[in-house]
Amino acid sequence: MVKQTIQIFARVKPTVRKQQQGIYSIDEDEKLIPSLEIILPRDLADGFVNNKRESYKFKFQRIFDQDANQETIFENIAKPVAESVLAGYNGTIFAYGQTGSGKTFTITGGAERYSDRGIIPRTLSYIFEQSQKDSSKIYTTHISYLEIYNECGYDLLDPRHEASSLEDLPKVTILEDPDQNIHLKNLSLHQATTEEEALNLLFLGDTNRMIAETPMNQASTRSHCIFTIHLSSKEPGSATVRHAKLHLVDLAGSERVAKTGVGGLLLTEAKYINLSLHYLEQVIIALSEKHRLHIPYRNSMMTSVLRDSLGGNCMTTMIATLSLEKRNIDESISTCRFAQRVALIKNEAVLNEEIDPRLMIIRLQKEIQELKDELAIVTGEQRTEALTEAELLQLEKLITSFLEDQDPESRLEVGADMRKIHHCFHHLKKLLHDKKIHEKSTVSSEIKDQNCQEPLKEEEYKKLRDILQQRDNEINILVNMLKKEKKKAQDALHLSSMDRNEFRHSQSSPFPPGNPEGPRTLPSSAPTQVHDSSAVGYRSSLLHRKTEMREEMSLGRQEAFEIFKRDHADSVTIEDNKQILKQRFSEAKALGENINEARSKIGRLKEEITQRHLQQVALGISENMAVPSVPDLQEEKLRSQLEEEKKRYKTMFTHLKALKVEIEHLQLLMDKAKVKLQKEFEAWWAEEATSLQVDTPAVKSLNLTKPFHQTPESLHERPQLLSNKSDVNARKILPSPCPITYSQEQNSTSASLDDSIPKRPTSSIPLTGDSQTDSDILAFIKARQNILQKKCFQ
């Protein structure tokens, strides 16, 4: 690390006129620090701002008088900085002074003579020369050239920089990373492998700057230019890279606005220049003051860019350019004062070294290979990445014997092979993990066992056994019933399909088998499909339920049901609906026939038209005549007929669809009424049976064999009731036509029942006591049937 204050130098520009005596003097005593004394002429001193002092003394590192040539300036000012840059430190040389004081001449050089070359070309030359001389390092040079005008940055080396003004260019902006490093976005970096290439870049930038400059926009005096040489160096084979930057800065004129005395745009520019320099001054003041925590670098672009150069990691040098003429005395004093402050700033330049990760990888890979080779020599065996099968097997054996060994002193010896050591650890970890899992499952099963083993109370055990037995029985019964239901559902399905076929045969389907317009025009709910659709499924399920329930009934009950149904008020509605349904069916049948007729007529007409077309074409070919353009009257007639038929067909089809809806609706209504009837009959049946039990205990035993209670009254009323359908009282005193014993019923129905169903003993099924069970079973059957029916029709 190199700690030093910013080096300040003064350079006095040669005066065009004969040197004015007595304005300044340079004291260059070798023992003392050189100083520049500016002596105020009498007339000026009277009106000078500060006081009436006649002379001002400023100390500099070195003062270059008018006769100092470019070579001297380079040798004394730039060369030491260039050397430190070559060593890997950052460096900055900036020229500060009023316009025309020689900043550009010093930094870049004069445009006329080769000997007038300034610091930039000389430094470039020096750097390339030195880097070529130094074979111990590999150097890489990149160049960037930034111009800051009115607080905006422009890339003077931008390849698109053919613009007539700076404003046409993309702006260079400042980015700050989390480590507070400054990055310049849009500033291009150009590699220069030779001095020539680097000089070309300098000239390209200067030319661009010149092109962009207009009389109204004298950028050269009102803008700051920063020419940067980015130098990287590394020793061959080393992963350490040194990066150093050398900023060569040509600042804008430091003259004050008051003196410029201009208005409008120029005033704005002057303000900016001064603003920019003002911020530079502020930063310098802040840096020169001890214990100052905040340094306002961010206030301007220039101070941001030169952040490292001022009070940071940089060896910085300032050249105060002075044009010591009588009229420039105040500006010269101002420049010198500025330099004095700058001289107070302490910088700490450090070597900017970093590890190149790419090179580091290569180096480490090389090192690994070398170590491997060394190992192979020592062990006498070549090692691969993975262990061989044999090695793995051997290791596992070793681990097993190690684990089984009861001796606490036993050791697992695998040798100094990291791969084997790692494998052992891995294997042991796996074993441990597996053991944990095993233990967990064992513990949980033990807990379960314990729970199970807990002795049950005798009472609870009996209860559970009973429940189990009960469930077993229930399952058996239900399985048998399901078997029975399945068979019945299939039978019903068979029956209903037979019915449908019968109906179709007898009435010759009222629905048209197809659509003459083609199958695509048929609606999805075409009448032909109605019977096989879900509506049928739903209907037959209801119908089936009805028949099922009747089959379930004893003969006596069946008979009673028939009478109940006949005398029920709803039976009238059912009957009426039946009639309407019949009517609708015949209507549909007639309509279907008409539709079929219309369809075949449409087909015929189409055929006729096609034939006619063919005939005409054939005629045209045989007689070598063109097809007549005059419309064919016959064909037109056929076409209008066709249209007519199509219309008729459509109307009828629509009507048939409406009929279909009505029929379906009626069928559903009927089914619903029938189910209702059945339900009401069941309720009545149960009611009757209960009242029989309660009212006549004497005949209670008879109930086992007689489903109906017979009274002389009922017997007497029976013929009347049978003849009078509308008598509502009939339901209450419905008699059985003839007493039927349960055994009789069983015998009569047993033939139709599934043989697999165990016959319930007569005595164990008291009819009245069973009514609840019966209705439960019925509900169950209904539910099952629904499911079975749905499955059947899917």
Under rule CB under 6 A, residue 97 binds ligand ADP: yes
Under rule CB under 5 A, residue 515 binds Mg ion: no
Which secondary structure element, helix H or strand E, spans residue 634, and what is its range?
helix 633-695
Partner in contact with 13, chosen from ligand ADP, Mg ion, none, beta carbon below 5 to 8 Å by kind: ligand ADP
Please identify, using beta-carbon distances, which residue of 103 and 674 lies nearer to Mg ion.
103
90 near 315, Cβ under 8 Å? Answer: yes
CA count, 13 A, side-chain hemisphere, 342: 31
Name the segment binding ligand ADP (CB under 6 A); options: 96-104, 259-267, 451-459, 653-661: 96-104
Distance CA 537, CA 792 (A): 8
Partner in contact with 14, chosen from Mg ion, ligand ADP, none, beta carbon below 5 to 8 Å by kind: ligand ADP
User: Annotated binding site, which residues?
Assistant: 97-104
Question: What contacts 759, CB < 8 A, 6 or more positions away?
Answer: 746, 750
Please identify, using beta-carbon distances, which residue of 100 and 766 lies nearer to ligand ADP.
100
Among residues 276, 304, 93, the alpha carbon closest in space to that of 185 is found at: 304
Binding-site size for ligand ADP (CB under 6 A) equals 14
In the complex, minimum distance from the CB of residue 218 to ligand ADP, in angstroms, rounded to a whole number: 10
Partner in contact with 41, chosen from Mg ion, ligand ADP, none, beta carbon below 5 to 8 Å by kind: none
329 near 104, Cβ under 8 Å? Answer: no
Under rule CB under 6 A, residue 22 binds ligand ADP: no
Please identify, using beta-carbon distances, which residue of 104 and 789 lies nearer to ligand ADP.
104
Under rule CB under 6 A, residue 103 binds ligand ADP: yes
Name the segment binding Mg ion (CB under 5 A); options: 66-74, 101-109, 303-311, 419-427: 101-109
Distance CA 746, CA 737 (A): 18
Distance CA 313, CA 306 (A): 11
Under rule CB under 6 A, residue 101 binds ligand ADP: yes
Please identify, using beta-carbon distances, which residue of 76 and 533 lies nearer to ligand ADP.
76
Q: Structure tokens of 392?
A: 């793995």
Please identify, using beta-carbon distances, which residue of 41 and 100 lies nearer to ligand ADP.
100
55-59 and 346-349 beta bridge pairing: unpaired
In the complex, minimum distance from the CB of residue 214 to Mg ion, in angstroms, rounded to a whole number: 16
Under rule CB under 6 A, residue 104 binds ligand ADP: yes
Map the footprint of ligand ADP across residues 649-708, applying CB under 6 A.
none
Please identify, using beta-carbon distances, which residue of 104 and 276 lies nearer to ligand ADP.
104
Single out the residue of 41, 80, 100, 766 in contact with ligand ADP (rule: CB under 6 A): 100
Among residues 768, 625, 618, the alpha carbon closest in space to that of 693 is found at: 768
What DSSP letter does each residue of 235-251 carry, written as one string? -TT-SEEEEEEEEEEEP
Distance CA 557, CA 568 (A): 16
Name the segment binding Mg ion (CB under 5 A); options: 96-104, 440-448, 574-582, 647-655: 96-104
Helix axes 119-133, 195-212, angle to 10 degrees: 160
In the complex, minimum distance from the CB of residue 155 to ligand ADP, in angstroms, rounded to a whole number: 21
In the complex, minimum distance from the CB of residue 4 to Mg ion, in angstroms, rounded to a whole number: 28
Q: Structure tokens of 536?
A: 């049928």
Residue 700 exposed, middle or buried by CB count within 10 Å (0-12, 13-18, 19+): middle
Among residues 233, 229, 280, 230, the alpha carbon closest in space to that of 252 is found at: 280
Please identify, using beta-carbon distances, which residue of 104 and 771 lies nearer to Mg ion.
104
Please identify, using beta-carbon distances, which residue of 103 and 247 lies nearer to Mg ion.
103
Binding mask 310-329 for ligand ADP (x = CB under 6 A): -----------x--------
The residue whose Cβ lies closest to ligand ADP is 102
20: helix, coil or strand? coil
Name the segment binding ligand ADP (CB under 6 A); options: 102-110, 145-153, 284-292, 562-570: 102-110
**How far is the CA of 158 from the CAs of 163, 192, 205, 304, in angstroms?**
10, 15, 9, 21
In the complex, minimum distance from the CB of residue 361 to ligand ADP, in angstroms, rounded to a whole number: 48
Single out the residue of 9, 10, 13, 708 in contact with ligand ADP (rule: CB under 6 A): 13
Task: State the chain's maximal CA–CA distance in angstroms.
Answer: 165
Question: What contacts 513, CB < 8 A, 6 or more positions away?
Answer: 528, 596
Amino acid at 612: R
In the complex, minimum distance from the CB of residue 110 to Mg ion, in angstroms, rounded to a whole number: 11
Among residues 60, 14, 17, the alpha carbon closest in space to that of 36 is found at: 60
User: Annotated binding site for ATP, which residues?
Assistant: 97-104
7-12 and 62-64 beta bridge pairing: parallel
Please identify, using beta-carbon distances, which residue of 101 and 150 lies nearer to ligand ADP.
101
Single out the residue of 104, 208, 254, 678 in contact with Mg ion (rule: CB under 5 A): 104
Which residues would be at the binding site for Mg ion (CB under 5 A)? Answer: 103-104
Residues that bind ligand ADP (CB under 6 A): 13-14, 97, 99-105, 110, 221, 253, 321
